[in-house]
Chains A and B, each alone.
Chain A
Amino acid sequence: MEEDELLNQENVEKRLSPHPLSFMGLQSLCIFLIAWGLIFGWMINFSDFRELFENVLLQIAVWGLVLLVVSIIASIIKVMWRIFFLYLSVVLVALGLIWWLNLFDAIGLFLPVYTVIVSIIGFLLVELFRRSHKYIISNQRIVFKGGVITKEQRTLRYDKISDVNTKQGILGQIFSFGTIIPISQSGFGLGSDQSFAGGGAHGSGSKRVGLFGFFGGGREVQTPRTRSYYELHGVYPFKEIRKMVEQLVQGSEISQYQKQQVDFQEEQRDFQEEQRDLQKEMKDLLKKQKNQSKSKEE
């Protein structure tokens, strides 16, 4: 954050960015690609059962099918169909290149090299994405910045934070990083898990009596989840940052004791005002009495 972006009396407490291992979900997609590229290369070129893969079309089919099956499994587990489409595009580009450059005779070399290169590009893109995240914790607000091409920014004042959610996976516990999701009063920072169950039945009797029934149900559970641009994603050192954020949130709110103090001071002020009014009345009365006695004497 530049100096001119700072508000009045605002001090930057911490500038953060995600830990290099905090995007392991995305990185593991690349790790799988690199591993499969090497295994496939070994399998069709050097292994004892390479004779099974003499057919070029079989080589392409095995390579592509493994990628697609794994991507479907990963998509179902992570509920993210982008994984499937990403891998599908990798397969389609490979098929396009093979057909366009007529690489049918060099599949054994092309597919492993292509897979490894794609995974290296993937690693670089993930790293670029990670480096686009910047989080600034000041004494007044948290600023979240991100975006490789389109720049996004979220500003959250501490008095607007209603809840702070934290997450720390096994890698985070080992390397001391974790994710902090500040949830605003408007509910920003909350996602939802949706589940749906449905069923149908159709039966037809011997007298052509058709029966059809359908039943279903859905359920939605609110859960702290948001994009990495809008949370403190994989910040290090996690415990220190979490404490700092919670203290800043606490500092922006009036505690019960402080509230009692304010009430007490207000009561005191009212009492003093009453006293002042009473004294004024007394003074006026005395003045009146003095004037009356003076007029009597005259």
Chain B
Amino acid sequence: MSGEAFDVVVFAPLAPIFGLILFWFIQLIFIEIQKSLLNQLRSSHDALIRFTNFIGIFFQTICHALGYTLTRSGISSFYLSVDYGKVDPKKKKSGVFEWLVNMFLFVGPFFLPSFLLLAYFFLLSNDAFTIMAQSEFTFAENFIGFGSNLFGFTKDLVFFLGSIDLFHPGHLGFFLLFILLGLGIRPSYIGKRPVKKVDMFYDLKNIRYNILHKPVYVLIAILGAYIFSYLNVFFGQSLYVSMFSFFGWASILAIFALIYAEVLLFWVYVLDDLSVGFRVLTLLTLPLSYILLRILFYLLSWPFAAQIGFWGSVSITVFVTLMLLYRLTNKFKTLLSMNSIRGTSGGKK
């Protein structure tokens, strides 16, 4: 067996799996950053925390219910609240069905909401979903194919987000869902008292348990992936890499949604230093400046009105926020220097 054949048989199927795990892990890190931000806001924005938690619980419960439905276990009860979600099956199945339901519960929330958004994005920009054709099916080509598919998608997504037209109902709906997904891809906590904290380690522990609990099923899944990969090589198709690219696109979409949501949360966090009146004024700056800029550009018949309108309003909002923080608070340490508030012992006065 030549080196290339060995590569195709043994290593090549692993390439998109590694790629997907990498992007999922990046997604997990962004979720953790968001949870840290939400933790900072917990004391002053209780309702916001409950809202984001509800979205997370909602997606998780839907994934669990979907797991029971697809394994034909049926659903006997469905409970959903801000702090807690629970689904009970009609028939408690064991073995591979139980394992699949748990996979839906533990891994589903990372991808299912993104798939919904992906479907929406497909309606707005189907150019983003291009697949690279393959010829050699080696590890390197699979990896490059996976990366190339994700790069093409990311480029179109960035272009779309950069030129989003919020006067277009479709774009506005996508943007709102995008922010909602970013805010609540995972819940921060489960239960009332005692509260079970949901963080990166909680998710990883659950997934590890499900993998180690039934390693045979994982081996079967990997074996299935290998067989699917060989069939692709045999028929000269790129479906294997495409399947993982599909998950990769969902992951990319989730990462961008998380970045946008984190910027939004950081904005809310810095505005806490302002009084309520100025906070409302700053929050209204974004939509008002956008509407005014769009009307102005429409009247002047300027090109790129949507792009300049969006980024112009973001710039104006950032400028207004910084100016208010500079003038009204000591956030930039301009009213009182750090040295002046330090005591002789080095601590704060």
**Which A positions have Cβ atoms within 8 angstroms of B?**
38-39, 42, 46-47, 170, 173-176
Contact = CB atoms under 8 A, between A and B. Distances in A.
Interface of B: 46-47, 50-51, 54, 81-83, 167-169
B82 A173 contact: yes
Contacts of A47: 168
A170 B82 contact: yes
A189 B83 CA distance: 29
B315 to A, nearest CB: 24
Q: Which 5 pairs across A and B sit closest by C-beta, in order of nearness?
A: A173-B82, A174-B50, A39-B169, A174-B51, A175-B47
Nearest to A173: B82
- Please report whether the interface of chain B is mostly helix, strand, loop or mixed according to DSSP: helix
A278 to B, nearest CB: 60
Contacts of A39: 169
Contact of A46 (B54, B81, B167): B167
A173 B54 contact: yes
B291 to A, nearest CB: 11
21 contacts: A38-B169, A39-B169, A42-B167, A42-B169, A46-B167, A47-B168, A170-B81, A170-B82, A173-B50, A173-B54, A173-B81, A173-B82, A174-B47, A174-B50, A174-B51, A174-B54, A174-B82, A175-B47, A175-B50, A176-B46, A176-B47
A173 B49 CA distance: 11
A112 to B, nearest CB: 12
A173 B84 CA distance: 11
B82 to A, nearest CB: 4
B260 to A, nearest CB: 21
Nearest to B81: A173
B49 to A, nearest CB: 9
Contacts of A173: 50, 54, 81-83
Nearest to B172: A38
A38 B81 CA distance: 33
B47 A170 contact: no
Contact of A170 (B54, B167, B168, B169): B54
B195 to A, nearest CB: 15
A193 B36 CA distance: 47
Contacts of A170: 54, 81-82
A30 B169 CA distance: 17
A174 B82 CA distance: 7
B42 to A, nearest CB: 14
Contacts of A42: 167-169
Contacts of B50: 173-175
A52 to B, nearest CB: 16
Contacts of B47: 174-176
Given A47-B168, A170-B82, A175-B50, 18 more contacts: A38-B169, A42-B168, A42-B169, A46-B167, A170-B54, A170-B81, A173-B50, A173-B81, A173-B82, A173-B83, A174-B47, A174-B50, A174-B51, A174-B54, A174-B82, A175-B47, A176-B46, A176-B47
Contacts of B167: 42, 46
Most buried by A among B47, B81, B83: B47
Contacts of B82: 170, 173-174
A46 B165 CA distance: 12
A5 to B, nearest CB: 33
B83 to A, nearest CB: 8
Nearest to A43: B169
Contacts of A46: 167
B303 to A, nearest CB: 15
A162 B81 CA distance: 28
A170 B80 CA distance: 9
Nearest to B169: A39
B157 to A, nearest CB: 22
A293 B50 CA distance: 93
Nearest to A175: B47
Contacts of A175: 47, 50
A206 B54 CA distance: 64
A39 B46 CA distance: 33
B178 to A, nearest CB: 18
A38 to B, nearest CB: 7
Nearest to B83: A173
A176 B54 CA distance: 13
A56 to B, nearest CB: 22
A291 B82 CA distance: 89
A65 to B, nearest CB: 18
A238 B319 CA distance: 39
A47 B82 CA distance: 38
A174 B54 CA distance: 8
A45 B35 CA distance: 43
Contacts of B83: 173
B44 to A, nearest CB: 14
A38 B287 CA distance: 15
A170 B50 CA distance: 10
Contacts of B169: 38-39, 42
B80 to A, nearest CB: 8
Most buried by A among B54, B81, B169: B169
Contacts of B51: 174
Contacts of A176: 46-47
A7 to B, nearest CB: 37
A174 B184 CA distance: 14
B309 to A, nearest CB: 13
A39 B173 CA distance: 11
B293 to A, nearest CB: 16
Contacts of B168: 42, 47
A176 B47 CA distance: 8
Contacts of A174: 47, 50-51, 54, 82
A26 B211 CA distance: 49
B216 to A, nearest CB: 41
A247 B47 CA distance: 27
